[in-house]
Structure 1
Amino acid sequence: MIAEQAYLFRHALLRDAAYQLQLPGDRARLHGLAILAIERLVGGRPPESPPLDAVDRPPFLPHASDPFAADLAEHARLALLAGVRRTYTRRGAAHSERHYQYAAAERLWLEHAELVRGAARGESLRRAAVAANAVGRPRDAEPLLERALAVLRESGDRRLEGLALGSLADLYKETARAELAGRVYAESIARYRAVADRCGEGIALGNLAGVYRDLGQVARAEEGYDNALGIHRASGNRRYEGITLTNLGGLFLETGRAGLAEKSHLESIAILREVGDRRFEGMALGNLANVYKETRRFPEAERAYERALAINREIGNVRSESFALGNLASLLCDTRQFRRALRTFRQALSLHREIGNRRGEGTALGNLASLFEDLGRIRFAERAYRKALAISREIRNRNSEGVLLGNMASLLNRTGRVSMAESSLRQAVSIHQEVGNKRFEGGHLCDLALLVLAQGGREDACATWRRGAEVLRSMGDAPLLADMTTAMRAACGKAGVPPFEEDPA
């Protein structure tokens, strides 16, 4: 084996020496010949793609050369063939996007941005940013989006400016800056309306509805989804009709309307199958599984999660596969299949790390921490919580930081660190209020109330619990409110005080 390695090393060294001895012009011709040889093997050069700033740009059409496009772009760079390099850099970037290879997509879109000007450059920068954000790197994505917007404003392309504003708002939403996201989505809608782009307007309206949903503004969220659906149906945009329906179904489930949620998800799945969108079909199946889980139809939930996983694996969507594994593991916890749950959470964590998704890694670690706590493995639980918190702070994911602080409080309380638990919950509630996470604000206020009650502070506990219950009631989260009410009554009974719904005599 050592002799074989030595031979290969000598061969590579001699090959590189022979290459370096060629004159620059001869080296360029060699790379040109390499391009021709590869193109001959794949049936020729692909047709020129439509401009990135085309108004009615057709969908990306695959070509046999696409798996080799990144290598062909590099050969073209070394062959000094600028036009060929542009063609293959763009095709390589689009191919990487389609196959969820986000690191390669980001690199190639950034390279393409240096080869084009005007609106096409702005759109290339935007797509590089979207790829960076897809693997949990919002700190890198945000300045790229700001650069893209500056280029697009200078170019005067209002439609692509609206698209870039929408991508920036997506990032703000994912990094728990909901109010800022709402303002930027509104700007995006204004740009689309200025150029009469109904498709873009409908998409942005649906995204803005998602912000209202996060802020607990249920009526505005539902109205926004309905308006988006109206536009998609009027313009025949079946794909986004299906996507909006599954988002609306999520809102229905959060507000205790499981029957409407199930109907909405089933309709969404039918549409997404009709248009052949396997990626969002997998997501909608996962959302349907959430309905089954919430309504305690556990076998149906597990089958739906498994179908979603199968689709994600079939299309190579590792990012969605990792989140689907996390959802399945949560279901396995609910059905007390703890060994399978632990194994599945670890699979999810491994995939997040494999693709560099720091946001997903933090989520998976937080889920693992909760499972370890349930299993009584306190040392492992605390270590996982602290690792998850470190990641959330590193990537500025305030929403996740608040959730983790609130969840870790139960472990601190369980291990006798009551003052630390109370401090952790108060920090969590403060963050939830800052970022507009109403669901966890309400839930953690109720948890805080029970902690205060256990220390003898009945009046403060009652006032705090009622605040939390009112938050949950205002957003229609009946299932969580019911769970919190059950826990409160048990705690009040143990403390020998009337339940907090009742006024003291």
Structure 2
Amino acid sequence: MPVACAIAGDDSEADIRRALDRLVAANLVAPRPGERFQFHDLIRDYAADQARAETTDDLTACDHRLLGFYLSAIKDASVRWLDDERANLVAVVGSAASDTGTCHYATEITLALRQYFMSRGHAADGLAMCEAALAAARRAGDQRAEAGVLTMSGLISYNLSDYQQAIAKHTRARDVAKAIGDPLAEADAVHHLGRVHAQLGQPRDAIRCHESELALAEQAGSEVLRARAINYIGVAELSLGHVEEAVAKHTESLSIFEKLGDQGATIYVLNGLGLAHWTAGRLTEAANCHKQCVDIAREKEIHYLAGNALVCLAETYCDLGRYLEAKSHAYEALVVSRQIGERRYEAGALEITATVQRRLGRLAESIEGYTAALALSRAISFRYGEASILIGLSIAHRHLGETTTAMGFARAALDAMYETSMRVLEAPALTELAANCLATGDLSQADRHIEHALKLVVQGGQRLFEARALHVRGLITQAAQGSAAAVPHWQRALEIFTEIGAPETTELSRVLKSAVTC
């Protein structure tokens, strides 16, 4: 109804309603829920022919009224309305982009829908709209709009885990924004370029991008962009294994956003802070952060952020031994990620589900899940996910007694760390490699790897990983010197597991009791 009124122009809503009622009575249009109407195919073709017979001025005025209506309506529209109108919006942008007189509507409508596509997915429609809008911006010579559309299109490619396309689009957006002297647009482009580098396992490149973003934000006087840059420097610092540096950056960013009252932005910071707490072994704090993220994402119906938050919450619950909740959240993340086409979160959900299966002793099922997650991670160059999954595969195969296979996965995980600048999973990979060396009887290599792992976790403040490394340190010592010599390592590991609330507490308590009894 509102669209019909906009097209008709000066006619009153009552007149339009009566006209539509007559068309419905004549079976020329069919009513649909929400005061919507649909042409029959033949009638649509006939109406189009009749419209083309109108004078150019009448058609132009009608086009402008329709496009102006949509541009105004989408700014305050509900998500449900945008979902219902999405196909029409794609169509009107494509139509507007083909005419120099209306091409500015194509870019304005597209850019106004950026947050909608970021939160809801619908990547194919988003990319189609961006393609049309980009052509319109270039036809009009509007480089500011061109930079904005390129960044939006790059974001959609990023959300599809198409990282090379994302890099190409964000790089072009950055260059265009720099050429026209727009620091805000340039900061936006380099920000998202940094996020791509982070996902590709290139945290140092990511830091360079976010430091550039920080300088541009300060130049433009934008506290929002400054806080965002600081947050993502924290993300990259964590990938380098600098846990407390990451916590400091996230905390600083969170403080700025809270002062600004920007709840939508805090979800990104809480996610990073939760990951830093998880890495440090502060599992309860991590769970609280990720639970807040899930709640905000659900409240605001931001599917993309919900998928990420659910994966992180599931992983934290898994490490807390809350396996049913972990499996439930991982399944929900899997459903959401497949709905929006976000393969990175799909891989994460598959991995967490496999880890739950492994912890419950279902090794064959866990290997099947890990294998699917590994294939997906490699297909999208998700290097952190690849390394984490390889460690899981090594543990599962080692528990099955398949030491040679397990050793290969552990070495591959370590290679993935060394091939990138990522170091956050280096200690877990070394710990698993040490466990495999122990299983083969190579105590010398086992000792070397576990000492390296312990050095890293102590330096990085990775408490959960430290406890796991100490457990393996005790096993190696037991094999070389007997159970009594291993007890101090296991006692220290048990203290950390107990403090963290990890499920390994139960198993290690039995091991210690047996060692002391002997």
Structure-1-length-normalised TM-score: 0.65
Aligned to 1:336: 321
**1:368 aligned partner:** 353
Which residue of the other structure, out of 61, 67, 75, is the alignment partner of 1:86? Answer: 67
Q: In the aligned structure 2, how far is the partner of 1:311 from the partner of 1:237?
A: 24
Does residue 479 (structure 1) correspond to residue 431 (structure 2)? The answer is no
Per-residue deviation, residues 125-154 of structure 1 (Å, max 9, x unmatched):
788898777667878877876676565445
| Aligned residue number for residue 111 of structure 1 | 91
Q: What is the distance in 1 between the residues matched to 2:219 and 2:151?
A: 22
C-alpha distance in structure 2 between counterparts of 1:224 and 1:313, whole Å: 30
Q: Which residue of structure 2 lines up, in the alignment, with residue 203 of structure 1?
A: 188
Q: 2:236 aligns with which of 240, 251, 259?
A: 251
**Separation in 1 of the partners of 2:286 and 2:436?**
33
Which of 413, 424, 431 is the equivalent residue of 2:398? 413
Bigger shift: residues 309-318 or 419-428: 419-428
Change (3 A) 1:412 1:402: same
Q: 1:285 to 1:429 in 2, by over 3 A?
A: closer
Q: CA deviation at 1:197?
A: 0.3
Cα pair distance change 1:147/1:424, threshold 3 Å: farther
Q: Offset of 1:323 from its aligned partner? A: 2.9
Matching residue of 1:319: 304
Q: Does 1:272 align with 2:272?
A: no
State the structure with more CA Rg: 2
Instruction: Say which SS state the counterpart of residue 96 (structure 2) adopts.
Output: coil
1:455 partner amino acid:
T
Equivalent-residue separation in structure 2 for 1:88 and 1:72 (angstroms)? 17
Note the C-alpha offset of 1:181. Answer: 5.5
User: Match of 2:92, as an amino acid?
Assistant: H
Q: Distance in 2 between matches of 1:182 and 1:435?
A: 17
**Residues 363 and 171 from structure 1, CA distance in 2 versus in 1: closer, same or farther, beyond 3 angstroms?**
same
Kept in 2: contact 1:163–1:200 (CA 8 A): yes
Measured against aligned partners, the alpha-carbon deviations of 1:443-489 in whole angstroms (never above 9, x if no partner) come to 5466456535643667988999999999x89xx96639857864774
Q: Compared with structure 1, are the counterparts of its residues 257 and 360 closer, same or farther at alpha carbon in structure 2 (3 Å cutoff)?
A: closer
Q: 1:385 aligns with which of 370, 373, 378?
A: 370
> 1:156 maps to which residue?
141
Show structure 1 runs of 5+ residues with no match.
1-27, 42-66, 498-505
Equivalent residues in 2 for 1:167-182, closer than 5 Å: 167=152, 169-170=154-155
Evaluate the alpha carbon distance shift between residue 456 and residue 260 of structure 1 in structure 2; reply closer, same or farther with a 3 A threshold.
closer
CA RMSD of aligned residues (A): 5.1
Contact 1:136 1:359 in 2 (8 A): no
Equivalent residue number for residue 231 of structure 1: 216
The within-5 A match list for 1:30-179 is 37=13, 71=36, 81-90=62-71, 99=79, 107-117=87-97, 118=103, 121=106, 149=134, 152-167=137-152, 169-170=154-155
Gaps (5+ residues) in structure 2?
18-32, 52-61, 98-102, 482-518
Cα distance in 2 between the residues matched to 1:329 and 1:187: 37
- CA distance in structure 1 between the partners assigned to 2:114 and 2:262 by the alignment: 23
1:265 and 1:468 mapped to 2: Cα distance? 26
**1:181-231 CA distances to partner (integer Å, 9 max, x unpaired)?**
656544432221111101112223333444554566666544543442233
Give TM-score, length-normalised by structure 2. Answer: 0.64
- Partners of 1:496 and 1:208 in 2: how far apart? 50
Provide the secondary structure at the position in 2 that maps to 1:336.
Answer: coil
Q: How far apart, CA to CA, are the structure 2 residues paired with 1:144 and 1:456? A: 60
Query: Percent of aligned pairs with the same residue?
Result: 22
Task: Report if the CA contact (8 A) 1:128-1:144 is conserved.
Answer: no
Structure 2 CA distance for aligned equivalents of residues 392 and 101 of structure 1: 35
1:412-440 deviations in whole A, cap 9, x for unaligned?
33223444444555666677777876645
Give the counterpart letter for 2:322 in structure 1. Answer: Q
Q: How many residues align?
A: 436
Deviation at 1:159, TM superposition (A): 2.5
